[in-house]
Structure 1
Amino acid sequence: MDLENQLKNLFPDHVSEKVSEKKDSEEKGIWLQDDPIICKYEKRKGKPITILEGYTGATEDFKKLAKELKQKLSVGGSFKDDKIIIQGDYRDKIMQILKDKGFAVKRVGG
């Protein structure tokens, strides 16, 4: 017998509510734009980085997106001057993640 059934036996009048996933609410909250997000590759101090820029929505939404990308790719990065900087060359993976979310993405450089 699982916990939910035990609680139903103890409190038969209580109606349990299903909690929606946190992921769904976050995706609905991010504003999708018409202009593409620019995904480019650079080398700084000999190390590769991927830069995302061109988001015209709220800064907080872009910060959430940066955090989610860093967690999914398991890499470091930062958010500075309305740009997401990801350590390493992850252009293809980032572009696929953003396309799955509904963003238009444009690849710039090599």
Structure 2
Amino acid sequence: MAQKISLADWQQQRGRSADSVADGNNDSLVYSTDKGKIDKARPTEAGGTAYPDGAVRLRREKKGRGGKTVLTISGIAKPVSELNELCAALKKKCACGGAVKDGIIEIQADKRELIEQHLSQKGFNVKWAGG
């Protein structure tokens, strides 16, 4: 049968003091009755990455989206804030919804010509990819 020890004794055996855990300096602590669930620091959002040829890809997707058509725009090497501004402008132009996920802009409509025209006016080299 295992011997029962107090939390302070266990922490001392592991080389940690009770004060470091109370201060929140314990990265392996998942739940504490003192503070509740401890959330880990989230990494900062990454912007988009460019393709080697410098072109922006417009891809039409339906798979895994319940049959709804979504245009994904990838290859824009800008920070997240600029991608959000561009996404907002495209959503207004197309009168539809959309979002920025993992550096890729998703527009919830099949208006490739309109989006290609708008991106070309902004100075992007646009290529169609996918269906």
Structure 2 unaligned regions, length at least 5: 1-49
Partner in structure 1 of residue 80 of structure 2: 59
Are 1:38 and 2:39 matched, yes or no? no
**Equivalent residues in 2 for 1:1-40, closer than 5 Å:** 35-40=54-59
Q: TM-score, normalised by structure 2?
A: 0.56
| Equivalences, count | 78
Give the 5 Å matches for 1:63-78.
63-78=84-99
| Root-mean-square deviation over aligned CA pairs | 1.5
1:88 CA drift (Å): 1.4
Which residue identity does 2:54 align to in structure 1?
D
Distance 1:57 1:85 in 2: 15
Among candidates 71, 77, 80, match of residue 50 of structure 1: 71
> Of Structure 1 and Structure 2, which has the larger fraction of its residues in helix?
1
Q: TM-score, normalised by structure 1?
A: 0.66
- The CA deviation at 1:83 is 0.7
- State how far apart, in whole Å, the 2-side matches of 1:49 and 1:80 are: 13
Shift in Å, 1:57: 2.0
Structure whose alpha-carbon radius of gyration is higher:
2
Return 5+ residue gaps in structure 1 as ranges.
1-32
Runs (4+) of structure 1 exceeding 4 A deviation are: none
Residue 100 of structure 1: aligned partner: 121
Q: Which of the pair is proportionally richer in strand?
A: 1
The Cα of 1:102 is off from its aligned counterpart by 1.0
- Pick 1 or 2: higher relative contact order, CA cutoff 8 A, min separation 6: 1
> Percentage identity across aligned positions?
38
